[in-house]
Structure 1
Amino acid sequence: MRLYDLRKFRQWWLWALTVKRYIDLNLYQTAPDMTHKRAVSDDSSFYGDINTIEYLNQRVDSFDPDEWMMQHHEQPGWAQPRILPTPTASDLHNPYAGVSYAWQLTESVDDFLARLPPATTAQTNEIPWIYICNPYIARVAKPDSLNQKSKGNEDEGPEQEGSKLDVVIEGGMERLELLGNFLQEVPKFGKPPSTTESEKNKERAQATLNILHLAHVGKVRAGKWMLFCDVLEVNGVWDIVAKATASNELGIASKVAPRPEQGDLRKERLICVYTKDFMDKVDVGRVVQRLKELGLADNKSRRIYYKPGISGGNTWGLKASIYNSSEAFPSGQDVAMAL
Structure 2
Amino acid sequence: MTPGFRSEDVFSDESSFYGDDEEQTRLKELDATFDPEPYWANVHPRLLSTIQYTSTAPQHKAEPEDSPAHDNDAEGSSFRPRDKRGRAEPIAAFLSRLPPSRTRSSDAGPWIWMRKSRSQGGDGDIATLVREGNALLQAYEEEASELRSAHDKSGAKTKAALTRKLNPLRRTLEQDIFGLAKETGVTAGKWMLFPSVEHVDSAWKKVVTALDKGELGDAAKVATDDGSGQARLICVYTDDFSDKKDVKRVLRSLVEQGLVDKESRPIYYKCDAYTYLDIKSNNEYGLKASLFSSREVLSGKI
TM-score tier after normalising by the smaller chain length: 0.5 to 0.7
Query: Once the 2 structures are TM-superposed, how far is the Cα of residue 212 of structure 1 from its aligned partner?
Result: 0.9
What TM-score, normalized by structure 2, do the two folds share?
A: 0.65
Rg larger for: 1
Find the partner of 1:303 among 248, 266, 274.
266
- Over 3 Å counting, the alpha-carbon distance change for 1:316 and 1:124 in structure 2 is farther
> Runs in 1 of length 4+ with deviation above 3 angstroms?
none
Deviation per CA, 1:99-136: give whole Å up to 9, x if none.
Answer: 42101112111101101111111123741101101226
Q: Which residue of 1 aligns with 2:102?
A: 120
SS at match of 2:106: coil
Q: Which residue of 2 aligns with 1:246?
A: 212
Q: Is the 8 A contact 2:216 2:253 kept in 1?
A: yes
**How many Å separate the matches in 1 of 2:239 and 2:169?**
28
**How many Å separate the matches in 2 of 1:116 and 1:126?**
9
Find the partner of 2:192 among 218, 222, 226.
226
What TM-score, normalized by structure 1, do the two folds share?
A: 0.58
Deviation per CA, 1:161-189: give whole Å up to 9, x if none.
Answer: xx232222222111111111122111122
Please list, as runs of the form range in 1=range in 2, the aligned pairs for 1:141-220 lying within 5 A after superposition. 159-160=122-123, 163-190=124-151, 191=156, 192-220=158-186
Query: Once the 2 structures are TM-superposed, how far is the Cα of residue 200 of structure 1 from its aligned partner?
Result: 2.6
The residue type paired with residue 290 of structure 2 is S
Q: Which residue of 2 aligns with 1:273?
A: 236
* 1:293 and 2:259 are equivalent in the alignment: no
Deviation per CA, 1:58-114: give whole Å up to 9, x if none.
Answer: xxxxxxxxxxxxxxxxxxxxxxxxxxxxxxx98xxx9xx774210111211110110
Could you tell me the percent identity over the aligned residues?
34
The residue type paired with residue 275 of structure 1 is T
Q: Which residue of 1 aligns with 2:120?
A: 139
| Alignment size in residue pairs | 214
**How many Å separate the matches in 2 of 1:224 and 1:246?**
17
Q: Is the 8 A contact 1:296 1:302 kept in 2?
A: no
Structure 2 residue runs without a partner (length 5+): 1-64, 74-79
Q: Which residue of 1 aligns with 2:280?
A: 312
**How many Å separate the matches in 1 of 2:270 and 2:89?**
31
**How many Å separate the matches in 2 of 1:209 and 1:122?**
39
Give the structure with the larger helix fraction: 2
Q: Is the 8 A contact 2:110 2:226 kept in 1?
A: no
The residue type paired with residue 131 of structure 2 is E
Query: Once the 2 structures are TM-superposed, how far is the Cα of residue 268 of structure 1 from its aligned partner?
Result: 1.1
The residue type paired with residue 200 of structure 2 is V
